[in-house]
Amino acid sequence: MDRKGKMMKTKNKCYTYFRIVGDFDPDEISARLGIIPNDSWKPGDLRKDGSVHTFSSWTCGRCDEYDVCVENQMRKTISGLLGKIDLLNQIRNDFDVSFYLEIVPEIYVNDTIPCLAPSLDVIDFCHATRTEIDIDLYVYPSEDEK
């Protein structure tokens, strides 16, 4: 929003999601957490390009609702997991997995710059579950430069 409270047009995008990576059965993670994942695979499953996955992945909480304050998207992503911190820690210990809060901004030069700083409640969740924050930043030239 601008200073007058009007929504500003932007080409920028961002999505966030929570990811578990390791060697495990994704169905077991879904059952323990009581959450249907946005995406999952296990070793041996085929990728879209025909190659084979060598590790398991389970993702949930994908938020595509771009907010210049990306911390709001992070909060939406972890909201369904906040009451499951002990269970997540048990999963991490039982399966020797890693947790990631994935943040994938796509920004254009000369457009509004998003704030990528996590809030204290997001940091607290990540600390309590040993979740790493991974930012995959994509920067594109402005339309004026094309």
What tens digit of pLDDT does each residue of 56-100 get?
A: 999 999 999 998 999 999 999 999 999 999 999 999 999 999 999
Provide, rounded to the nearest whole percent, the portion of the chain with pLDDT above 70: 92
Q: What is the 3-state secondary structure (H, E, C) of the chain?
A: CCCCCCCCCCCCEEEEEEEEEECCCHHHHHHHHCCCCCEEECCCCECCCCCECCCEEEEEEEECCCCCECHHHHHHHHHHHHHHHHHHHHHHHHHCCEEEEEEEEEEECCCCCCECCCCHHHHHHHHHHCEEEEECCEEECCHHHC
- Label residue 4 by pLDDT band (50, 70, 90): very low
pLDDT value, residue 54: 93
Mean pLDDT of the chain: 91
Given a cut of 60, is residue 145 above it in pLDDT?
no
Mean pLDDT of 114-141: 94
6 — phi, psi (to 5°)?
-90, 145
Residue 11 lies in a domain: no
pLDDT value, residue 3: 44
Residue 78 lies in a domain: yes
Residue 101 lies in a domain: yes
Whole-angstrom distance, CA of residue 76 vs CA of residue 79: 5
Residue 5 lies in a domain: no
Whole-angstrom distance, CA of residue 114 vs CA of residue 58: 27
pLDDT value, residue 112: 83
State which residues form the domain around 125.
21-145
Residue 43 lies in a domain: yes
**Lowest-confidence pick of 1-5, 69-73, 129-133:** 1-5
pLDDT value, residue 113: 83
Given a cut of 80, is residue 6 above it in pLDDT?
no
Residue 1 lies in a domain: no
In this structure, are strands 13-22 and 56-63 parallel, antiparallel, or unpaired? antiparallel
Given a cut of 70, is residue 22 above it in pLDDT?
yes
Residue 8 lies in a domain: no
Residue 7 lies in a domain: no
Domain count, the chain: 1
